[in-house]
Amino acid sequence: MANKSVFATFAGKLLPPADARNHEGAQAYRLSPEQALAQLAATGTFNATFYAEPREQLDEVLKLAWQVEPAFLAKTAVHAFEQGYMKDMPALLLAALSLMQGDGFNRAFARIVRNGKMLRNFVQVMRSGATGRKSLGSRPKRLVQAWLEHASDFEIVRAAVGNDPSLADVVKMVHPKPASASGEALYGYLIGKPHDVAALPDVLKAFEAFKRDPSLPVPEVPFQMLTSMPLSREHWVQIAETAGWQMLRQNLNSFARNGVFEVEGFAEKLAARLSDPDEVRRARVFPYQLMVAFTMAEAGVPGVVKDALQDAMEVALGNVPRVEGNVVVCPDVSGSMASPATGYRKGATSAVRCIDVAALVAAALLRRNPTARVLPFENDVVDVHLNARDTVMTNAAKLAAIGGGGTNCSAPLARLVREKAKVDLVVFVSDNQSCVDATQNAYQGTATMQEWQKLKVHNPKAKLVCIDIQPYATTQAKSGADVLNVGGFSDRVFDVVGTMLASGGDPDHWVRTIEAVEL
């Protein structure tokens, strides 16, 4: 009799053969160039991850950039910036696009370089030589120059914070032509050249006056320009009153340490801003950034402010889909998920781990779908009890507290198969580096696909969504009409999931989402 471990028969249609290996050397499916670029654009931060070094990510992105059409590359860059809230990745894709024919670069530049930070990011990438040259080139130089010439004085002042390159470096590089006397004085001020002090923008006049006399009102300059100065509690209160939303979120502990919350009624005032739905949406905040602010808030941060962060979380996750039927959410809690969500970076590694992001996504889906089952997995499924009425923060913390072991993406599906469970939607949140369930024969597909096929026998209309939160180019489930592979950890991932569920079943649904971007 033939060896059944080799010639086993699987129910349903023939499985697609595995055509790649993941970072653990196990069988996997290779994403198409468009799918892989979309994946890397939504998750790549060019920091070291559990499995990949920054240079590997850079080389892979640039290779893929030349394998897709320039129009798709431009749309991917815009999507990564506007919907994925990424910064370095859109700058790199834009730099690669500047070497290609067509008007995609000009159109994408206007959508991505919306502030001084992105301008400096783009120039830094171009000067690094990462895309093959160290000069800006005539076309990029014209656009950088045009941005400077059309930016307001305040935008220029705000862009002056930061180095490598500094805005002064950029100004010296492209030689913008100031349109006014204040602009001419501002450029001279930035690059250390003689200038008409009386013609400086009012905000810089106020800043220079404050440096001479701290009893004056705090000028409305970027917060970073003031940190080296001796500031009183009253100064800190003024800073908090005029700060942007993201700056408020990032500096709660600093405000507490400097007595801001001791001012009567100020905690409530700040909390109202943090929880304001319009401000939360305008801030384009990652849900996990709110989790960081909440978990890192020190004892001096009042409860009303911490509650406001939870309210902001509900707003940030407002587009989590409500699904009819039986939903199962499978967060990966294996050892590799303990790595930082945005990778390792010396001196600036994020405190948020991949497991925190997976737990957050699972908790958010549970909040919107109270009857959903949550099946965390590592070597096998880990049993945990969650209350759907608890806050997203509470349930995410419970899930993130477990973890370790190897990765077995097929384990939750195998349990559902054994139970003969009724399922309409299964959502995985993982780095997709499954290895515990590695198959030996590529023509039998991955263990995840084998178990999914078995589950489909009794649930023919079920759909599988695999959310990948690390920048790798393989998956355990082959994209198809019933399988969506999507990358990223902004709340926009839920938009794609929601539209996929409402669609007729497109194996390249995520790619179509990016192709729909209008330049």
* Same-domain pairing of 254 and 364: no
Structure tokens at 52: 């990949």
With contact defined as beta carbons under 8 Å apart, do 238 and 217 qualify?
A: yes
Any domain includes 330: yes
Is the peptide bond preceding residue 165 cis, with omega within 30 degrees of 0?
Answer: yes
* Same-domain pairing of 510 and 462: yes
Closest CA to 337 of 494, 492, 469, 200: 469
DSSP state letter for 205: H
**Which of 181, 199, 217 lies at the terminal end of a domain, its last residue?**
199
Any domain includes 7: no
Any domain includes 214: no
| CA distances for 48 relative to 41, 45, 77, 89, angstroms | 15, 9, 21, 14
Structure tokens at 437: 């369930």
pLDDT in tens, 63-118: 999 999 999 999 999 999 998 888 889 999 999 999 999 999 999 999 999 999 99
* β-pair partners for 466: 428, 485
Instruction: Output the pTM of the full model.
Output: 0.83
Structure tokens at 28: 């996997």
Q: Which residues are within 8 A (CB) of 202 and not within 5 positions of it... i.e. 6 or more apart?
A: none
**Which of 248, 282, 316 lies at the terminal end of a domain, its last residue?**
316
Pairing of strands 483-487, 463-468: parallel
Any domain includes 2: no
* Same-domain pairing of 242 and 129: no
DSSP state letter for 483: E
* Same-domain pairing of 306 and 346: no
* Same-domain pairing of 369 and 502: yes
**Which of 281, 316, 351 lies at the terminal end of a domain, its last residue?**
316
List the CATH number of the domain containing 419: 3.40.50.410
The answer on pLDDT for 313 being more than 80 is yes
The answer on pLDDT for 7 being more than 50 is no
pLDDT in tens, 319-360: 788 888 899 999 999 988 888 777 776 666 667 788 888 898
* Same-domain pairing of 96 and 190: yes
Any domain includes 424: yes
Q: Which domain holds residue 346?
A: 20-30+322-515
Any domain includes 218: no
The answer on pLDDT for 307 being more than 90 is yes
* Same-domain pairing of 276 and 350: no
Any domain includes 307: yes
Question: Taking residues 165-180, what's their average pLDDT?
Answer: 91
| CA distances for 53 relative to 183, 218, 433, 471, angstroms | 43, 43, 16, 11
How many whole angstroms separate alpha carbon 390 and alpha carbon 359? 14
Any domain includes 8: no
* Same-domain pairing of 45 and 158: yes
Among 42-46, 78-82, 230-234, 323-327, name the one with the lowest average pLDDT: 42-46
pLDDT in tens, 182-216: 889 999 999 999 999 999 999 999 999 999 998 88
Question: Taking residues 485-489, what's their average pLDDT?
Answer: 81
* Same-domain pairing of 410 and 468: yes
Question: Taking residues 272-283, what's their average pLDDT?
Answer: 93
Domain count, the chain: 3
* Same-domain pairing of 133 and 263: no
* Same-domain pairing of 174 and 261: no
* Same-domain pairing of 182 and 240: no
